[in-house]
Structure 1
C-alpha cells in the first residue's frame, strides 16, 4: 500500500514518516524570479517527483533554474515550454502523472541496491549496537528537535520506540542499543557541521552552479558522511562492539540531516545506500550500509521499516504501479507501516529475520491449533498445494493486542499464498512472493484487504469454492489451489481449524540422461498415501506407465525433439491424477562436426539441461524471468525462481563434438552473469566423452551490474587435451546453495580459425608473443576500439593474479612472468562488451 503517515511528538510537533513510498508530501519551491510555488511530492528513495494537486509533474530546467511542467520523452521526463504556475496545464494539453519509464526506474533502483546486497545482513539475535550521527550544513541553524526526543523515538520503554518494537517482534531475541553522536546534552541537539552549504547538495543549474551533477551526487554524499564519521570517531568508545557478526562491517548506522526533505534532490530525501565509494572505519569495522533521513522525516515507523531491511526483510509493496492488487497491505510492516508500527508478518520473520526457527508443515487431515503471532512458538503452519510444484500456503493468527499488534487491521486467521518463484518479496511484483487472501480478492481485484482475517461470522472456511478461494498465481492463471480449511474458531488465546489434505502431490525434479540410441528419465518419487503408479507423457501424449521413479524411452530418433512430463496416479479418498511434473525436452543428436553453431532459437537445440527452476531452462526473457535487452531465445538459470531454500546448480552441455586431430579450436559465446555476494559462479568445462570427468577451463567474471541482465561476448581457445572424438563443453551455473541471481548463454560458436563461420559472430584478435615465454610476453590487440581495456592475468583455477587497466586499446602491453612459476595461465582481455581469453605458457 502506498502510504503517507504522521507521527505526533509529545511537544505537538507533527513530522512526516518516510518508510518507502510516499504521496502528496507538501513542498515549497522558489523560482529564480522569487515566485513561490506550493506543490506536492510523491515517490520513494529510488525515484520521487514534484507535482501539483491535480497530478501534473513539475521538473526543473537546469539551463535557467526555473521549474516547468514536465512531459515524458523516451524513458525520461523533461521540461515542457510551460513554466509551472503560469498556465493551466490541462488547457495546455499536458498529460498528468508524467514519470520515468519502468526500465529507468529499475536502473535507478539497481544503482542503490547493488552495493547494498553485499553489505546488508546485521545479526538478528543478541545485542546490536546502532550508531546515529547528526549532521547540519554550513549555512544551517541548529537542530530544532532536541536530542531527548530522538532518544525517546529510539529507546523508550514506556511509549512505542524502535528498540521496544524489535524486542517484542523478535521475542526478545534482539536487543538494540543506540548510541548518539556527536555527544550532546538532551536539551539541545549538537551536530557535525559540514564544510558545504545546503545548495551544494542540490542539483546543479544556472541558478545553483554549486550543485551536483548526476556523476557527482554519490561522491558528495559519501564524502560528507565520511567527514561526519571521522568527526565523531574519537567520541566512540574503543570497546563498543560494532561488528557483532564479525563480517568486518559496522552492523547498523544511521544519519539524520538537519531540515526537511527536498523532492528535487536525491541526497535530501530519506534513503538507504552503501558507503562503497570511500572507506570510513569505526572501531576497526568498515561502514557499509546506512540509512539517511531528514530532521523533519523521523519517526518510529520510518526506522522500524528500514531496520526491517537491515535485518533481512524485503519490501512487500510494489515498486511500480502495475495496477495489480495490493498483496499484503497492513498485515505486514514491510508493505504498509503504521505509527506505532504493526508487526512484520510471520513468514518474513521465519524466512528472512530468523526470529521464528521453523515452519511446521501440515501433511495429514485433522484439527489443529495455532497461537497468536505475538507468541514465540506454534504460531505458523505451512500447507502444500496439491496443484503446484512450488506454491504453498502459510497460516498465522493475528490478534490485535499490545503496543504494536494493536495496529494490525483485525483479529483472526490470516492465510497467505507463498510463491517462491517470484523471488524475494513483492517489490517487482506481480507475481508476489507473499499474498494475503481477502474477500473479493482475485488475480486482478484487490478486494477488502483489511478484512483478510478468518474466524469471524461468515468467515469460517476457505477452499476452492469460497470467497475468497485459495487460487494460485500459476503464471497469472489464478487456478485452484486445493486448500481446504473449515470450522475456523477464535478463542481468547488460540484459533482452531480443520484441514483436509489432498495428497495428490506431483512427481518432482524430472531429469534426463541422453544415451546413444535412447534416453533415461529419472525423478523424485511420490511418497503420499494412496500412490499407485506413474504416467509418462511424451510430446503431450500418454506413452507408458511405471511403478518406480525411472523410465527408459527407446523410441527416439536423431534430430527430433521430445518433451516429457510425469504424473502420479492415486487411489483412495483423493483418487485421480496429479498435476504434471516439470517438463524436460530432449533432442537426440549424433556426433557434431566443426564448425558448430547454436543460437537456441528452436527447441531442437540438442543441449542437455535440467529444464526446470533448479537449473538451466530454455526460453526468452519473459518466460525465464530474466529482464534483458536480448529479445531472442536463450538458455538461462535463475536462482531467484528456484527459491531461497532450493539450490540452483546445473550443467548446460553441448552435444558430442568431434575435435579429434584438431590443432586449434576456439569457443565463442554470449553470456550474462549477475552475482550477489560473490555466490554466483558460471564456469566453463570440457570432457573428452560423456563418461569422463569434467575439467575446468575458466571461471567467468560478471557481465555487468544493474537491474537487467547485461550480455558480453566471450572467446577463448580450448585446451588441446579437449580435442577428442566425443568431446563436450559444459557451462556450469552454481548459486552456492544460497540466494543468487542467475546466468544465461546464447550464440555459441565452436570452430577452427578461419573455418568459414559468419565473421560477425566472432571477435577482434589478441596476439601474444612470444608464447611460450620465460620472462615476459607482449600482448597486441587488433580491432578493439573500446575506451577502456582491462587485462587480468589469472591462474588456471580462475584466481586473478594481477590486473591492469589501459585507456589506449590500440597499443601493445608487456606483462612480466619472471615471478611466476612454470605453468599455464589465462590472460583475460576485458571491455564493456566482450571478454577474450588467451592462454600463456610460462616455461
Structure 2
C-alpha cells in the first residue's frame, strides 16, 4: 500500500526483525470494541484474530497513519487488515497452485486471482469502508478463497486512534467428529455435542470446497451454504449415516454447533472415503477433487535431487510454469517437475481392473505440452502391470513441444495386457527440473478417440526450436528405420538422413539460410511433419 520508504507491517516487524520493534501481537478472542494507536506508537499498535475456519491462518490488524519520516507516502489513513499463512515464507514464489502468500493485505476487488486496489486497502468511516466479513468487498477470504470468518464492523474515523467492533462467536464447537467408510456407498458420521448440548448442522461435498454458515441464517437439509457445501444433517443427534454415495470417492465434511439465535461455532472438519470396487470397462476418471481418489495411488520410483519442493503428484484447479487449466472438470493432475529437482520419478497408479474378454484396450488421456526448457525433457511414460510390482513399459510422452496446448493422446495396450484379471495402468512421471507436467481425463476403453494416431508429435521431439541451425531429435523408442528429410518453404529438399534402430539424431543446418523449414520424419512407415525455424 505504501510507495517509497515506510514501515514494515506489524507481523513483519515481529517475525523478521526478531521481535525487536514489535515484541508481541496480542490476540482478540472475545467480541467487543477495540482501539489501536498508529503503528509508529510503541504500545497498543496491533492485534491478531484467529480464523474460525482454519487451524493455521489468522488475521492481523494495525492502524497506519500518514506523517513522519517513514509514513508520509501512505495513500491514506486507516485500519489495515491482512491474513497470515504460516505455512509459507514470504510472497516471492507465489503461484496460486502449491505456493501461496505468507502475507495478504485485504483490498477492494482483491481475490485469489485479481490484484485489486491496493491503494485503497485502508478502512475508515470517511472512505465508506467500515467493515470486513464474508459478504463485504473485500471479504476476509483464506488462501484458497474460502470464507475466513472474520467479522469486523463500525470502523471509526482515523484520528489519534482508530476503533472498531469485533464479533467472535462464543458458541463452542462439537467434539470428536469422525467419518468412517463402511461400504462402497456409505460413510457413517459420529460426534459429541458441546457442553450446552447445542444443535449441529453438517455440510459436505466431494470436492473439498466447503464454506461457512452466515450468522443469523437458518440452514435445513438440502440447502447450500456460502462458499460451497450442502447441508445433510441438522439436529441434536450424535450420529448420521451418509448413504447413496459413489464408490471409491473422498467425501469432506464440516460440522458447526449453533445456538437458539442461530450463531455458529467454529467449524470442525473431517474426511471419509467410500470403499473401492473393481471398475468395469470403460473406465473414466477426471481427477475432479482436491486430492486423489482412494482407489488411485502414487509410488515413489526414484528420489532425485532436492530443489524447492519434494516431488509430488497432486490434483489442482490450475497450474503455473506453465499456465494451465483442467482439460475437463474442476481439477487435473500436476507433477511438480518445475520445483522438485531432476531425477525424481513418481508413478500414478490406477485401480486394478479386468481385461478378460477384451480383444483390445486403449488408454486415452489428455496431456499438456508447452514450449519452455527444451533441454530439460520432463516426461511421462505409460506402463501396465498384472501384479502391481512388475511394470511393462509403453510410450513416452514429452512435456516439451513447439506449441503450448492440451493434446488428446492414445496408447493401445499390447496383447500381453489382454485377458488379465488384475490389470493396472501406471503413469510414470520423470522430472528433469524443467516445467510442470499435467494429465487429465483418463479413459480406458475399447477404441481410441477420433483423430489420434498411434504415432504422434508426442513420440518424436525436435529441439531447441528455433535456433541457429543445430537441431536435436529424440523419439520415444528406437525405430527400425528413421528417415529424416528437411524441405525449405519452396519444397526443395535441403537435408536427408536415414537411421536404423535409433531414437536420437542431430540435424545440422548451420549453413542454411534463416527462415522456416519443414521436417518430415518417417518412422517405420508412419509420417510426422513439424516446422522448425533457423534464426
TM-score (norm 1): 0.34
Higher relative contact order (CA 8 A, sep 6+): 2
- Greater helix proportion: 1
